């Protein structure tokens, strides 16, 4: 089955949508890296933001300070997350395990340390 060819305006709209989604994902990763947001906030935002939901879990983990490809793979393996899993595809127990593992105790109120 072939896809119907897009008009120039449809192609432009699709390109703009993709660019906006990449920008949202990059912003979320930058906020994680700078400590302006927590992993639980990003995972929670994936429920309402499609672009964040499409972010690979490995990329999300690698955005955290001190976590590279090897450590991210180890974390995912220990929690039982497939290497290709995206944030929106995480199960309840996987989300909880990631948050428990990666967030310091006492960050419950609006992402601020208590």
Mean pLDDT for the chain overall = 89
Q: Could you tell me if 99 and 61 are in contact, meaning their C-beta atoms sit under 8 angstroms apart?
A: no
State the pLDDT at residue 6. 87
Helix (H, G, I), strand (E, B) or coil at 90: coil
State the pLDDT at residue 105. 62
Q: What are phi and psi of 73, to 5 degrees?
A: -65, -40
43-80 pLDDT tens trace: 999 999 999 999 999 999 999 999 999 999 999 999 99
Q: Lowest-pLDDT range, 10-19, 20-29, 100-109?
A: 100-109
Helix (H) or strand (E) holding 45: helix 39-45
17-26 pLDDT tens trace: 999 999 999 9
Instruction: Give residues with Cβ within 8 angstroms of 114, minimum separation 6.
Output: 106, 107, 108
Q: What are phi and psi of 8, to 5 degrees?
A: -60, -40
């Amino acid at each position: 089955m072939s896809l119907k060819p897009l008009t120039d305006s449809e192609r432009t709209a699709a390109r703009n949508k993709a660019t906006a989604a990449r920008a949202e994902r990059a912003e979320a990763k930058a906020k994680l890296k700078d400590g302006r947001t927590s992993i639980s906030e990003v995972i929670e935002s994936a429920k309402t933001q499609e672009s964040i939901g499409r972010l690979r879990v490995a990329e999300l983990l690698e955005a955290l300070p001190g976590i590279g490809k090897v450590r991210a793979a180890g974390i995912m393996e220990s929690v039982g997350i497939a290497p290709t899993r995206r944030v929106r595809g995480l199960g309840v127990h996987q989300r909880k395990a990631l948050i428990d593992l990666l967030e310091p105790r006492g960050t419950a109120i609006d992402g601020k340390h208590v």
